[in-house]
Structure 1
């Protein structure tokens, strides 16, 4: 609800003002089109599924860039090329060296995706970007029965409940301070317990989803942090990876501290069996490449 009206308005505007210019839509859900039915179906009645209610996944352009760039950084050119051609040729069969990536897009809007050999196997976001991790002011995962209960107890309409879940929840709702992680971190330094709770809930949710995909893929070769928080909050990255030494994750504190403000790099130690990377998001590049490819092919 926060995105589609603006997108539709933009499409209509360009159609009116530039009618002869090709218009290409690259959907954020495209990266997830090869998930297996068990990964995208909800346990709901058939009539609901017929309406298209399912897990779609979002941030596809960002996670696609992570899939390609992480493969390049780790020297797996076969996976990198598979990702480049994914929207043209589909995944096909893959017989090269494995590359299982836990991709953490953490910003004003956050999600975790499991990527196996360049192809998404699961997404934390669901039918809409509301699902999964807590967002800046969107709730993330919530038991569906909480909504009718709150509507009844507080006398809210469904529309008002939807508004509060979209506008007054997430990091803002938990902290009571701001929907901006930087403001929340400042409040933590001032001793605000609700601000600390907001970050703790975010970290717990990241670990929950990353752990889920770790099990689904049977392990991981890399953990990647991207987007505004993922690229700049070294303390949060360290907290997400804390206690994972038994799984082979070893963070280099010095490298982690330096990987901020757009710096790309490896923040794990040389003896870490799972590589931990920071990759600045570049959704615009993915969009430009795919649009160019589509227009050229047409």
Structure 2
């Protein structure tokens, strides 16, 4: 069957089209083939670029795309191009899968319906950059393509196996029970992919792995025998590690102090924290790791501080995960930073020889794609594994369609 996996922004629609076996299981990363990828940027503008890649063929058109429904139709038009397309008609697509972020009281993989949309809307305040555009797009697509199944694969799903002692906050019980305030964890599709691929590379199903998804947003997850047992992000994607402009772990009682001293409202205070915090706040110049490296090389102490805080927070959380796992078979780096920044990988892993972690400096600096960079003396394997969140979502869509067929 053919599954279109969507990644949405408020003004963007990106996708990959997979051909996947009808009996594919969740996490089967070898039973799907990417036929095409593309998307639309600047949705709502007078001119929106619409791109597609099918094999060696690349096409870009500039169209008027007022909403996500029109964006999907524009992409389907390219996919059904009579000369280069991979579809004869849009009806060949079995479902559109979404890497949805936060459903609060629901966590898993579901056909999109009013219950799912309502649950997402309840968590808009917890994921303001993600949930509203997803909800709006899903509603538009429901109206425009009523016969096409839409599937929401929530980022929180993989972390449902985290033990209660590592997911509950020490807060009034009512907050947890009524308002779903707990450590939910995110980047679930990426960490699930790393759990599957690392187990293959280590040739053991009981592998204990620390997955480091480092990019524009970053999180760590401890994985034991394919299950998430600890993760850094909490109630929202703002927590855990400091990120581009996300603050990471932060004392909430600092907020009333700032509000009192500045006269800012709660909304204004949160907006500043969300837009001016994170690595951007520390460096006072940029939240982009590449800019921070450049600034630090030029002697900018604020840029160096941002890099140091980022690395130390990764190491702090990694240490807690080493204790939680008891044994670490591999530490895996993925995401834009994890895959491409050898300096960050080196800084995270340096000085840990006493814990059986020893870097092969040459391999770390020269490796491309998927590669190992541990020395022969290292008891813990060190790997870079490019993630593939979309193939996980595609396999989850098949699961939902299988359940629908069974019913």
What is the TM-score when the length of structure 1 is the normalising length? 0.90
1:241 paired with 2:349, answer: yes
1:271 Cα deviation after fit: 2.5
1:115 paired with 2:223, answer: yes
3-state DSSP class of the match of 2:248? Answer: coil
Distance 2:402 2:274 in 1: 39
1:101 paired with 2:228, answer: no
Unaligned runs of 5+ in 1: 80-97
1:192 Cα deviation after fit: 0.7
Query: Where do 1:121-140 residues align within 5 Å?
Result: 121-140=229-248
Aligned residue-pair number: 276
Report what 1:90 is aligned to.
Answer: none
More strand by share: 2
* Per-residue deviation, residues 37-72 of structure 1 (Å, max 9, x unmatched): 111110001121121100000000000000001111
Q: 1:59 aligns with which of 187, 210, 215?
A: 187
Report what 1:258 is aligned to.
Answer: 366
Of residues 52-61 and 33-42 in structure 1, the stretch that sits farther from structure 2 once superposed is: 33-42
Q: 1:38 aligns with which of 165, 173, 188?
A: 165
Q: 1:231 aligns with which of 332, 339, 355?
A: 339
1:219 Cα deviation after fit: 2.2
1:296 Cα deviation after fit: 3.1
Distance 1:12 1:173 in 2: 36
Query: Where do 1:112-191 residues align within 5 Å?
Result: 112-191=220-299
3-state DSSP class of the match of 1:24? Answer: strand
Contact 1:102 1:115 in 2 (8 A): yes
3-state DSSP class of the match of 1:38? Answer: helix
RMSD: 1.0
Report what 1:271 is aligned to.
Answer: 377
Unaligned runs of 5+ in 2: 1-127
Contact 1:232 1:259 in 2 (8 A): no
Q: 1:15 aligns with which of 124, 142, 145?
A: 142
Report what 1:71 is aligned to.
Answer: 199
Contact 1:177 1:187 in 2 (8 A): no
1:293 Cα deviation after fit: 2.7
Contact 1:221 1:274 in 2 (8 A): yes
More RCO (CA 8 Å, sep 6+): 1
3-state DSSP class of the match of 1:33? Answer: helix
Contact 1:101 1:222 in 2 (8 A): yes
1:214 Cα deviation after fit: 0.7
1:164 Cα deviation after fit: 1.3
Higher Cα Rg: structure 1 or 2? Answer: 2
Report what 1:27 is aligned to.
Answer: 154
What is the TM-score when the length of structure 2 is the normalising length? 0.67
Distance 2:364 2:155 in 1: 29
1:125 Cα deviation after fit: 0.3
